[in-house]
């Protein structure tokens, strides 16, 4: 239902999650959803809205009936941030619902990896359902007062009518009934049993006998239903079993073999790591877990923490590999150290760029810093190797003249290398935070900022360091190690 269909994998598509906090029924969710669709379609940046509510009888999704999803197609030529602000204004008109706005890929990946579509999910594991719900309520209260929280919701434990039938072993044995006989009889009552076939024209249908569509509403009426007993006349169900009607949990969530209750939310206006650290401190101070119960912080935070740790190790391995290869090429610790000195200059620009842009540190930011490793190393290698060439091949004596000449002759190649990379990233920066560019934009900010400082300082600081440190003691006019036959950018 909704507007024109937009394929869910379109890069400008987002998913809007709606959860009723009062546990409304499916028809009520659909009614509210139609109003939400009409309001969203009035926004200039929205081109389509489709609501998905309910689930197939044998579907894999286990969403409750008070949960809906909207596929919202955004105009690729519009201002995405402005449109998201307008969408936020629309959903705030509907109190009593918890909302979450996610990109299609990030939302689906979060649902698969952590079972949650929100940025932060606090999972409470334990054995007793009532205790889990009490702990989840306490965590919810602490998250509600944590700065930066948005779309806070706790997965509600909804009750449903349940029929409990317990076999009376003594009376059942007297009538020759077993527990399996009772189960078979109850299944026949409520689900039916085929007793024949009806033929109509060219089609055939099973003739099924079962209780009416509206079964008895109380345990006394259910207990009066007759059950066949082998060798005896049919007996009332209450004679051989205890029958009761009560309310029980509609769904019991489990993960890794343990019962779980989930409190989830998104983060707005601050860094994800800072928010989770504040929430951890609040929960640790105010929520006391009984023995056998424990917490887990999941969602995008968990995935980001794991990816960050992995990137840190990969970055260190890349740096170690670069240093090793540089030493093999130069055969000089001094030359290797001079080239590696470009890294602080590049990282300085990246950090300043992130600070000036007010962009939160993300995986894209870390990827940008790792990318700078290779880009800045090239500039340093070009300059240091040219110094060695001028000394050995052209006989330029070691001194200020060598440093100035080398920097002048390598000015254009270094500038062209940096400019080519930087200009390629300009369209990403000018495009803004469009859907599908969550990683590209912070990466481009870091790389461009790092290129600016590394290029400028490379042509000023590195020649100065070369004069102060480039000549090894007793090594003559040039490095003790030889570059000939190993590295050449000529």
Q: Smallest Cα–Cα separation from 97: which of 37, 36, 56?
A: 36
Q: Smallest Cα–Cα separation from 121: which of 93, 100, 92?
A: 100
Name, of 106-120, 242-256, 474-488, the range with top average pLDDT: 242-256
Does residue 189 contact residue 225 with C-beta atoms inside 8 Å? yes
H-type helices in 145-258, by residue range?
A: 169-174, 179-191, 219-223, 237-240
| Complete DSSP assignment for 296-362 | EEEEHHHHHHHHHHHHHHHHHHHHHHHHHHHHHHH--HHHHHHHHTHHHHHHHHHHHHHHHHTPPP-
At the topology level, CATH places domain 13-155+262-297 in Alpha-Beta Plaits (3.30.70)
The percent of residues in the chain predicted with pLDDT above 70, rounded, is 81
State how beta strands 254-255 and 120-126 pair.
Answer: unpaired
Long-range interactions of 429-432: CB distance < 8 A, separation 24+:
432/79, 432/80, 432/81
Q: What is the mean pLDDT of residues 220-225?
A: 78
272 burial (CB, 10 Å; 0-12 / 13-18 / 19+) is buried
Q: Smallest Cα–Cα separation from 136: which of 148, 115, 122?
A: 122
Torsion of Cα atoms, 478 then 482 then 486 then 489, to 10°? 10
**Burial letters 68-89, b for 16+ CB under 10 A, else e:** bbbbbbbeeebbbeebbebbee
Residue whose entry in the numeric block shows the structure tokens 């449903």: 160
Domain borders along the chain are: 13-155+262-297, 160-249, 331-469
Query: What pLDDT is stored for residue 285 in this prediction?
Result: 92
pLDDT tens, position by position, 178-210: 888 888 888 888 778 888 898 888 888 888 888
pLDDT tens, position by position, 407-419: 888 888 888 888 8
Judged by DSSP in three states, 472 sits in: coil
**Helix pair angle (461-469, 333-340), 10° resolution:** 160
pLDDT tens, position by position, 283-320: 999 999 999 899 988 877 777 777 778 878 887 888 88
- Alpha-carbon Rg for the chain, nearest whole angstrom, is 34
**Least confident stretch, 167-176, 238-247, 374-383, 468-477:** 468-477
C-alpha–C-alpha distance, residues 279 and 295, integer Å: 12
Q: Smallest Cα–Cα separation from 19: which of 10, 11, 28?
A: 28
Backbone angles phi, psi at 124, to 5 degrees: -110, 125
C-alpha–C-alpha distance, residues 246 and 234, integer Å: 26
C-alpha–C-alpha distance, residues 417 and 372, integer Å: 13
Measured CA distances, 3 to 16, 48, 82 (Å): 15, 5, 21
pLDDT tens, position by position, 8-50: 444 567 777 777 766 556 677 778 888 888 888 888 888 888 8
**Class of the CATH domain delimited by 160-249:** alpha beta
Please state the length of the chain. Answer: 490
Q: pTM for this one?
A: 0.58
At the topology level, CATH places domain 331-469 in Multidrug efflux transporter AcrB transmembrane fold (1.20.1640)
Q: What is the distance, to the nearest Å, from the Cα of residue 16 to the centroid of all Cα atoms in its chain? A: 15
C-alpha–C-alpha distance, residues 67 and 329, integer Å: 61
Judged by DSSP in three states, 76 sits in: coil
346 burial (CB, 10 Å; 0-12 / 13-18 / 19+) is buried
Does residue 225 contact residue 216 with C-beta atoms inside 8 Å? yes
Does residue 387 contact residue 470 with C-beta atoms inside 8 Å? yes
Query: What pLDDT is stored for residue 438 in this prediction?
Result: 62
* pLDDT exceeds cutoff 80 at 477: no
Supply the DSSP symbol for 80.
Answer: H
């Amino acid at each position: 239902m909704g507007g024109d269909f937009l394929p869910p994998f379109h890069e400008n598509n987002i998913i809007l999650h709606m959860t009723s906090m009062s546990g409304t029924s499916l028809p009520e969710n659909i009614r509210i959803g139609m109003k939400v669709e009409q309001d969203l379609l009035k926004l200039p940046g929205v081109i389509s809205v489709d609501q998905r509510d309910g689930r197939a009888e044998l579907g894999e999704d286990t969403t409750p009936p008070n949960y809906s999803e909207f596929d919202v197609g955004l105009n690729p030529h519009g201002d995405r941030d402005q449109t998201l602000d307008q969408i936020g204004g629309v959903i705030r008109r509907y109190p009593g619902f918890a909302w979450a706005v996610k990109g299609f890929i990030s939302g689906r990946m979060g649902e698969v990896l952590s079972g949650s579509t929100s940025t932060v999910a606090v999972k409470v594991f334990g054995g007793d359902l009532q205790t889990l719900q009490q702990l989840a309520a306490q965590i919810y209260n602490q998250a509600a007062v944590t700065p930066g929280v948005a779309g806070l919701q706790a997965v509600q434990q909804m009750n449903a009518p349940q029929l409990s039938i317990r076999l009376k072993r003594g009376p059942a044995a007297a009538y020759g009934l077993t527990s399996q006989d009772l189960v078979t009889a109850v299944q026949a009552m409520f689900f039916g049993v085929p007793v024949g076939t009806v033929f109509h024209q060219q089609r055939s249908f099973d003739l099924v006998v079962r209780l009416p569509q509206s079964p008895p509403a109380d345990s006394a009426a259910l207990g009066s239903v007759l059950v066949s007993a082998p060798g005896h006349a049919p007996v009332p169900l209450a004679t051989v079993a205890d029958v009761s009607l009560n309310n029980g949990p509609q769904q019991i969530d489990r993960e890794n073999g343990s019962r779980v209750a989930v409190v989830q939310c998104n983060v707005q206006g601050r860094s994800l790591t800072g928010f989770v650290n504040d929430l951890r401190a609040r929960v640790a101070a105010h929520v006391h877990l009984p023995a056998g119960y424990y917490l887990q912080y999941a969602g995008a935070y968990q995935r980001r923490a794991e990816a960050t740790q992995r990137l840190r190790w990969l970055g260190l391995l890349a740096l170690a590999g670069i240093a090793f290869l540089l030493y093999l090429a130069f055969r000089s610790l001094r030359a290797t150290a001079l080239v590696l000195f470009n890294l602080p200059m590049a990282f300085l620009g990246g950090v300043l760029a992130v600070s000036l842009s007010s962009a939160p540190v993300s995986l894209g930011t870390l990827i940008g810093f790792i990318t700078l490793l290779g880009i800045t190393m090239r500039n340093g290698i070009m300059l240091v190797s040219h110094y060695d060439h001028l000394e050995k091949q052209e006989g330029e004596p070691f001194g200020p003249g060598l440093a100035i000449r080398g920097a002048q002759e390598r000015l254009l190649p270094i500038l062209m290398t940096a400019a080519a990379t930087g200009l390629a990233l300009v369209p990403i920066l000018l495009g803004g935070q469009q859907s599908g560019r969550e990683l590209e934009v912070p990466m481009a900010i870091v790389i461009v900022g790092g290129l600016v400082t590394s290029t400028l300082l490379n042509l000023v600081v590195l020649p100065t360091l070369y004069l102060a440190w480039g000549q090894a003691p007793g090594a003559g006019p040039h490095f003790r190690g030889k570059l000939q036959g190993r590295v050449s950018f000529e």
